[in-house]
Amino acid sequence: MLIIDCHGHYTTAPAALQKYRDAQIAHFKAPGSAAPAMPRMGDDEIRDSIEKNQLKLQRERGADITIFSPRASGMAHHVGDESVSSAWARACNDLIKRVVDLYPENFVGVCQLPQSPGVSVARSAAELERCVVELGFIGCNLNPDPSGGYFNSPPLTDKSWYPLYEKIVELDVPAMIHVSGCCNPAMHTTGSYYLNADTMAFMQLILSDLFKDFPTLRLIIPHGGGAVPFHWGRFRGLALNNGRPELDEIIKNNIFFDTCVYHQPGINLLAEVVPIDNILFASEMVGAVKGVDPRTGFNFDDTKRYVDASPRLDDAGRRKIFEGNARRVYPRLKAKAPAKAAV
Amino acid sequence: MLIIDCHGHYTTAPAALQKYRDAQIAHFKAPGSAAPAMPRMGDDEIRDSIEKNQLKLQRERGADITIFSPRASGMAHHVGDESVSSAWARACNDLIKRVVDLYPENFVGVCQLPQSPGVSVARSAAELERCVVELGFIGCNLNPDPSGGYFNSPPLTDKSWYPLYEKIVELDVPAMIHVSGCCNPAMHTTGSYYLNADTMAFMQLILSDLFKDFPTLRLIIPHGGGAVPFHWGRFRGLALNNGRPELDEIIKNNIFFDTCVYHQPGINLLAEVVPIDNILFASEMVGAVKGVDPRTGFNFDDTKRYVDASPRLDDAGRRKIFEGNARRVYPRLKAKAPAKAAV
């Protein structure tokens, strides 16, 4: 069995990336001079940033492949304008491609989109296509709130998102619904904003006909689905109150939750209420919560331990969560990870 | 043992109330004529609206007292201005008082505040005082997002909220942190908006020194604490990452979750991770989710069943959740419910 972690971000990129970002924002604010170029970055710098972090943790924890995307909180679609988001997404995605090329057995790419508030998401389709077709990426992160914390975009079920879904479906890649850093002082980025966006997205989806329009569209709700599994009865009831079927039926081929839930009781609940076919292994590392849980002696984000230990799962269930479901949700993974799979 | 439901809303008020509200909004938009007055409402109308709903369900499910407040989604602080919110809160609170007077053994009042976007919350203190001192209410609902869905208020830990906390502490009443109806098309009022506000509020509180400034301030996070118990490890980790103590310690005397979680696994998780002393029985009925769960044959919001059945609870724990904790959090309950308690 291959252990596939479907939710990893390049949070440890070399300092040159942030230097470029700072220059880019400065140029946006005072555009007199020439637009900045990405500084040169040696392979050694990239190797160093990965081997001491994501790769080290993969090995220690026994994961094989991480589906890897740019730092989510760094996407910051609310900063700058379309041209800023476009250059920034391209730079971040190109850097992921370099990681994947250096460690083709350990990482597979997922891209950031060049979304920008007030700009049609249709204009993100080209970068998605470039990343999938030219760079070999297998999915994208889709930001449901490019405002960075004020939730003023139309719901994901609105027709304005459809041009992007058309491209997503055409390329047969999934989208992880993932907001970026929060500029709203009322919400903590990883503590409440991420989870709230997850919960919001799920509720938008279950009362809609989106998957009638796009039967093969596959959306991943990260962070265990936000508040959803804990309130499974509430969401079931609301679906039924609105003449919709049971959640199991609604989500079947289209909505998936990851296992970024940082304690054993949470993973147990996830596995108890959400159909096993709709759960993907993930850790979000190196990410939201750092350090060792003093009660267990292991890292909070070492989610493999919770999946391994959950009494709600048998071997067949674990196999689905660790590998089988990811292969179904990310069909392009096949071309990237056939060798190990055959071992 | 008394079964105290700490979270009930008057969602079934006679039609005259909404008629008054409609007239009030119409007057705000076209203020030429005289301000509307609350239409006459007979005791029979009120009795009818309660006996067929909340009181019937109390009896069927075996609860004794409901801590009762105006319909949360009806508060709509984003509508109108300060004078509109002020008259509306007064009308809704006076109506709760009538219910309490008609059924003093079954209902105890909690008030709506006359919050209004851009208006200092200090100006809500007078209505709180009126409700507690003159009407005998025992708590209030505090809206952390009077914008109705755009989260543009300062965090609850901001000094701008302090004048209200001073009055709350002086009166020795708790506040339930509860948003109102959502006017943001991206968020469903009871499906995602309520839960997101809960999660947001908790995260604001745990990284703050609010309870150093107000050691006796007691805040209830409804709907089981939003996403918090499911992500207890995430919140523990974030607290520890920020040099804060364990959550159990942070919330001890100040933060309480209710049991408005509409399925057995959710209540089991709540009771597993949250200290029993910080859980209050509640159903939110007649409220967010209507109807019978086809898998259990009982109403989704019949939360007493889940508390009764949870293997995580013993009799002492249930006694705390059903009665003891509520008496601690709402000390003014003592004057209202002494008789039955002595039985």
Q: How far is CA B227 from the centre of its chain?
A: 17
CB contact under 8 A, B237 and A290: yes
For chain B (length 343 residues), average pLDDT per consecutive 10?
97 97 96 89 97 96 97 97 97 98 98 97 98 98 97 97 98 98 97 98 98 98 98 98 98 98 98 98 91 97 98 97 98 77 41
pLDDT at A339: 46
CB contact under 8 A, B145 and A186: yes
CB contact under 8 A, A196 and B227: yes
pLDDT at A343: 37
- pTM, full prediction: 0.97
Catalytic residue among A134, A166, A284, A323: A284
CB contact under 8 A, A262 and B231: yes
Question: pLDDT for A121-149, tens place per residue?
Answer: 999 999 999 999 999 999 999 999 999 99
pLDDT at B343: 37
User: What distance, in Å, lies between the first and last C-alpha atoms of chain B?
Assistant: 8
* A194-223 residues labelled b (16+ CB within 10 A) or e (exposed): bbbbbbbbbbbbbbbebbeebeebbbbbbb
pLDDT at A33: 80
CA distance B61 to chain A (A): 18
* Whole-number Å distance between alpha carbons of B67 and B178: 14
Interface A:B, Cβ pairs < 8 A: 208
Note whether B162 contacts A: Cβ–Cβ < 8 A.
no
User: Residue A117: its chain B contacts at CB < 8 A?
Assistant: none
CB contact under 8 A, B273 and A261: no
pLDDT at A335: 80
Mean pLDDT (chain A) is 96
pLDDT at A287: 80
Q: Name the nearest CA neighbour of B159 among B126, B121, B207.
A: B121
Question: pLDDT for A264-288, tens place per residue?
Answer: 999 999 999 999 999 999 999 888 8
ipTM of the complex: 0.97
* Whole-number Å distance between alpha carbons of A291 and A301: 8
pLDDT at B338: 63
- Mark the ranges of chain A whose per-residue pLDDT is less than 70: 338-343
Question: pLDDT for B135-146, tens place per residue?
Answer: 999 999 999 999
Note whether A275 contacts B: Cβ–Cβ < 8 A.
no
pLDDT at B339: 46
User: Residue A232: its chain B contacts at CB < 8 A?
Assistant: 263, 265-266
pLDDT at B2: 95
User: Residue B291: its chain A contacts at CB < 8 A?
Assistant: 237, 240-241
Region of residue B136 (phi > 0: left; psi between -120 and 50: alpha; otherwise: beta): left
